[in-house]
Structures are given as C-alpha cells and as structure tokens.
Amino acid sequence: MEVLLLGTGSADGWPNPFCRCASCSTAAHVRGQTAALIDDVLVLDCGPEAPRAALRFGRSLAGVRHILFTHGHPDHVGPAALLMRHWTGATEPLDVVGPPSALQQCEHWVGPDDPVRFTTVRAGDRIRLGDYDIRVLAANHGADIGGDAVLYDLESDDGRIFWATDTGPLPDATYAGAAGAGYDAVFLEETFGTYTAHGTEHHDLPGFADTVARLRTVGAVSDTTDVVAIHLSHHNPPEPELAAVLSDSGARPGRDGEVVRVGAGGARPIRTLVLGGARSGKSAHAEALLAAEPAVTYLATGGIREGDSEWAQRVRLHRARRPDSWRTVETTDVASELRSAAHPLLLDCLGTWLTARMDQHRVWDGGALDGVHADIDELVAAWQDCPAHAAAVSNEVGSGVVPATASGRLFRDLLGVLNARMAAASDEVVLMVAGRPLRLPVTAP
C-alpha cells in the first residue's frame, strides 16, 4: 500500500501565512491542510487544497474511485473537487464516504447523472470499497458540527493503516476497536505541540505521547509500526526539536509530498536525493529527514584533507550536529555500503565521491572516462538496491557561470549526469534554495 501525504498541516497549515512567530518564520517546509492519496485510487480527507497538492506532487486524481471524509470542518471537505471531476465527463463510479456533517456539504456539487454514490457512516460501521476493508472508529472531535467525526482503520492485502485526524485523546471504544491491529502505519494528529492550554479536541505533544503509548498497550502499534504525526501547526517547536520529542514515542513528523509504503507494497524503502548550491542547507535538510531514526549510517565521502584547516572545521561542524547514535563511515566505496545497509543511511556527498573516482581513474591526467562511467553505473544500481531508507546529498553546479578550466567543465558535466541518473532512481528529489526546500516532480517508474 502506498500513502502519499498530500498535506500534513493543520487548518491554517504550518507556517500560518499571516503569522510571524518563531515557529512560522523558521519553518523549513510548507505544510498544507492534511490529506492523503492511497494507491492513486482513494483519497482521505479531500479538503480544498488536496486536488492541487496532488498535481504538485506529480499525481493525477483521474484514477480515484473512493473519497473518505472524517468530518465536516472546511479544511477536510472541499466539495468543489466533485465539480472538477464532473467537468471532465467522468463516467467511472465514485464512492464518497463520511459522516453526515461532511456528506451534506457535497450533495449539491454533483449533477443528477453523475456516477457518485454517497455512503453515510458512523463509528462502529464496517464497509468494503474496492480492495479495501474499512472499519470506522470514533473520534474525539467535532462537537460544533454534531460530534459525528470519525477515524478510519483501512486494510488491504498490502497492509493496514490507521488514519486518525482530527481527534483529541481517543475514546475507549476506539482503543477497543483497534486492539491487536498491529498497524503498519498510524497517521495521528498532533496539532498543538507545546501549547497545552488549548482546550480543544486535538492532541498536543504530551497527549500525543499518551495516545501512542496506549495504542502500544492494546497492540495497535508495534515496534515496526511507522507512527507519523500529521495535522501539525505552528504551536509546535522547529522541526529538529519536534522530531527529537516525537522520537521518544517512536514517532516522527510527516511531510507534504512524502510517500509512505507499508505492508507488501512497502518492501522498498524510500530514497531521497537532496540537491543544492553552496550553503543552501542541503546537508542539514538531509540530516533532518533521518533525525527521528534511532540509528543512521553516515557515509562521508570527503575524507580528511591534511593541512586544510578550513576543511577540518567544516567536518567538525557536521559531526557536532549529528546524534551520538549515528555511525560515521568515511569511504568512497559507497556502492557496497548501500547494498549492505542495515540501518537508514545518509550519503554526503555525491560531488566529493565523484571527485575521488575521477582521481582514482586519473581523469585529470588525461585518463579515459570509461572507469568513471562504470562507477556511476554501479552507484546508481546500488542506490536502487539499497535495503534501507536512504538520503543522498549532491551539489547543484549547473546553474552558475561556465567554469574557466577544462577540468572544471568536465566535473560539472559529469556531476550533472550523475545527479540526473540518481534523481531518476529516487522516490523523492528536493532542491534546496536559500535554506528552503523545493520538491521536484518525480516520474513514477
């Protein structure tokens, strides 16, 4: 099962576009309203931002056959999506499922001949939609809309997930319904972070930790469950601090555009390529991607440069910000490390790796390039075969002035080739500009 997170933010997103608080002004990622696309056929919480988010992440909604709403709040229900679909002349049936507070908003957005089937659900119901067996669980949310908000336990032959947004601390009936589920992934809302005096039907960080702990107690969450915090707002601390707090519960923050694969469909880990110019924040971003992992192998390809104090200082700064649980391996034999990875892995960076391979094959002295291209082939193949989650950092050097030397131009061209091939073999590609990440479309293999 593949879960594409179309949004991981609260109703106002994170950062809030009207706010200048520290959390908003330092946010490295823009999070839209929480929604998800499952296997390109099912949408969870199709709010007003969800259709455009799908396009930004390179996905079409033409194959969607099921839409599930959790409740009627406006960041979760965007009925205009039904009108967009109607304008295409779609003839395939579409199931629209949810509590009354959501469906009542949608019924007037379909034509009399639209192949749309509305199904009202309440906590305790169980329905079958296509390949999915869906259990409807109670939420602690939405008293202002009649208190009919629900959560979804969604299972197919490829895995089982719990979609739990929005809700405060879960009702006892929900723990009973989820007991023994052993979910592959749990997507649990965590809106208010360190602000605990909100008085709303949402989680803050202490409440989130308590909920996850109880889900573990009843067997809904196991050591292998991917617990992802969603519906995040600016009441949370900056992401590195948030990731550290969530990791105490075995959880991590979700990100817009992230693809989570679970069950039989989740056997292949996620590979992320992070590109950027000098001081663009590419290494820090890649490190943040793995910050919640209990153990990470850091592949440092730059090595030690004798007599270069400036380089030594750079290395010291990089090492100082890595968690103590990370293992550093200084090597240019990256392919073997990728193939044998027992833990999530960070490769930093492809530029210094390429320089070392060009040195090895004496390219600067007129040596043939065949050996370098063979090394690139091996690296890309190992990247594809890596059995663990992996992030790779590389320099984006093709946007500046043309290098003045032949060797500089050769390096630029070869690194461009390497970056393009690694991007084609990656699940996610991020371009860092002035410390801000831009997610690039990835063509599905």
pLDDT of residue 406: 85
**What is the Cα–Cα distance from 229 to 247, expressed in whole angstroms?**
11
List Cβ neighbours of 411 (8 Å cut-off, separation of 6 or more): 354, 355, 358, 397, 403
Query: Angle at Cα 218 formed by Cα 213 and Cα 223, nearest 5°?
Result: 60
pLDDT of residue 347: 95
pTM of the predicted structure, to 2 decimals: 0.71
**What is the Cα–Cα distance from 177 to 179, expressed in whole angstroms?**
6
Q: Is 78 left (phi over 0), alpha (psi -120 to 50) or beta?
A: beta
Residues of the chain with pLDDT under 50: 267, 444-445
Query: Angle at Cα 406 formed by Cα 404 and Cα 409, nearest 5°?
Result: 75
Using DSSP's 3-state secondary structure scheme, residue 438 falls into strand
Q: Which sequence positions are flagged as catalytic? A: 318
**What is the tens place of the pLDDT at every residue in 8-48?**
999 999 999 999 999 999 887 899 999 999 999 999 999 99
- Cβ burial of 92 (10 Å; 0-12, 13-18, 19+) is exposed
Tokens 């979910």 locate to: 183
DSSP per residue, 289-342 = HTTT-S--EEEE-S---TT-HHHHHHHHHHHHTS-TTPEEEE-S-HHHHHHT-S
pLDDT of residue 317: 62
pLDDT of residue 330: 87
Residue 203: which of 219, 218, 187, 217 has the closest Cα?
A: 187
Residue 72: which of 124, 146, 130 has the closest Cα?
A: 146
Length of the chain: 445
The CA distances from residue 306 to 159, 302, 309, 364, in Å, are 51, 12, 8, 20
pLDDT of residue 444: 47
Question: Residues 262, 381: contact at Cβ < 8 Å?
Answer: no
**What is the Cα–Cα distance from 74 to 48, expressed in whole angstroms?**
8
**What is the tens place of the pLDDT at every residue in 291-343?**
778 789 999 886 555 556 665 566 566 666 667 788 888 888 899 999 999 88
Question: Residues 3, 163: contact at Cβ < 8 Å?
Answer: no
Q: Structural domains in the chain?
A: 2-261 (3.60.15.10), 271-440 (3.40.50.300)
**What is the Cα–Cα distance from 168 to 199, expressed in whole angstroms?**
10
- Cβ burial of 380 (10 Å; 0-12, 13-18, 19+) is middle
pLDDT of residue 258: 85
Give 232's DSSP letter. Answer: B
SS3 content of the chain, % helix, strand, coil (to 5): 30, 25, 45
**What is the Cα–Cα distance from 109 to 105, expressed in whole angstroms?**
8
Residue 445: which of 425, 428, 429, 431 has the closest Cα?
A: 425
Question: Residues 391, 326: contact at Cβ < 8 Å?
Answer: no
Token pair for residue 226?
């991917």
Determine the straight-line distance between the first and last CA of the chain, rounded to whole angstroms: 16
> For the chain, what is the largest distance between any 2 Cα atoms, rounded to a whole number of angstroms?
77
